[in-house]
Amino acid sequence: MSHRSVVIAAAVNNEQILADTLALSPDLTSGRVKFIPVRAAESASAAYNTVLSETTADLVIFVHQDVYLPAGWVALILSEALRLDQESPDWAVMGVYGITREGKHLGRIWSGDQQLELVGDGGLSGAIASLDEVVLILRTNAGLSFDPDLPHFHMYGTDIVQMAASAGRSAHVIQAPVVHNTIPVVSLAGGFTAGYRFLQKKWAVRLPIVTSMTTITHAGLPLFRARARHWWYSRRMIKRSGIEPPRVTDVVALAKAVGYESIVNA
Ligand SMILES: [Mn+2]
């Protein structure tokens, strides 16, 4: 089948970040692609399920509000969807950065808080265990939705991949780099830990599950290592970039400068 209809959706809690990043994406400024913002959501799952219940699009592209999509990006997604229809007819979800069951990183993305490109270990094939939440593309006729019981705004990229696998569906990483203009997050306590605990129980029979930030295990020791590591790392990053006031990045120029538009339009 062909994927003719596509929408872009985001959970929005900061209008300035949205205006300075996602809203500058040419696919949105041109009005070619419909944008569905969800404001004041209590969790990513709740926000994204609202979108799924309101759209009849074949593909729903869920992105963070702090992501810039280079010119030509949605056209690339449509062609990648068609390719997957042929090569992996069972596909349900794709992302631009993810990790395999063996812990191999796949994809590429610009990381704003680190001011560098994250590049995977090479190649894009492998059994995906987790997709980075920065971009998640759902094929709606696969019938998946987000778990309404998963709290906060973390771990839903891992959860949706695991749910796809439970339904006999596959997840994929494609080469479609974006600029993630994120600012350093101070702590993985709170929402991240709550998400970790939720998945620990939900997927107990499948553990360990590798994610890009940590590994979900029965005992949960990697969570504490990740929290400690992240705390030191974010303090360093905040010191370097200065979180007050937030650093302003010209995402349009950056995407061009790092060559993303030539990759996307190759
Ligand atoms: Mn983000």
Residue 112: predicted pLDDT: 85
Which pLDDT does position 182 carry in this prediction? Answer: 85
Ligand 1 centroid vs 120 CA: distance in angstroms? 19
Which distant-in-sequence residues (6+ apart) come within 8 Å of 254 by Cβ? 68, 110, 179
| Residues 155-184 pLDDT 10s | 999 999 999 999 999 999 999 999 999 876
| Dist. CA 133–CA 219, nearest whole Å | 24
What is the 166 CA–ligand 1 centroid distance (Å)?
27
Q: For the chain, what are the domain ranges? A: 6-264
| pTM recorded for the entire structure | 0.93
Single out the residue of 36, 11, 70, 22 nearest to residue 255, CA to CA: 70
pLDDT (tens digit, 9 = 90+) per residue, 223-256?
999 998 888 877 776 666 554 444 557 999 999 9
Lowest mean pLDDT: which of 3-17, 78-92, 109-123, 198-212?
109-123
* Centroid of chain to Cα 217: 22
> Is residue 39 within 8 Å of 12, Cβ to Cβ?
yes
What is the mean predicted confidence (pLDDT) over 68-79?
A: 97
Least confident stretch, 16-30, 66-80, 103-117, 144-158 = 103-117
The CA 135 to ligand 1 mean position distance, Å, reads 9
How many whole angstroms from 41 Cα to the centroid of ligand 1? 15
Average pLDDT for 138-149: 97
Angle between helices 44-54 and 156-166 (to 10 degrees): 60
Instruction: Assign domain 6-264 to its CATH architecture.
Output: Alpha-Beta Complex (3.90)
> Does the pLDDT value for residue 47 go beyond 90?
yes
Rounded to whole angstroms, how far apart are CA atoms 10 and 38? 6
Tokens encoding 138: 């759902």
The rounded Å distance from CA 177 to ligand 1 centre is 14
Give, as residue ranges, everything with CB less than 5 Å from ion ligand 1.
64, 66, 182
Nearest CA to 8 among 37, 30, 29? 37
Distance 76 CA to ligand 1 centre (A): 21
- Determine the distance separating the centroid of ligand 1 and the alpha carbon of 66, expressed in angstroms: 5
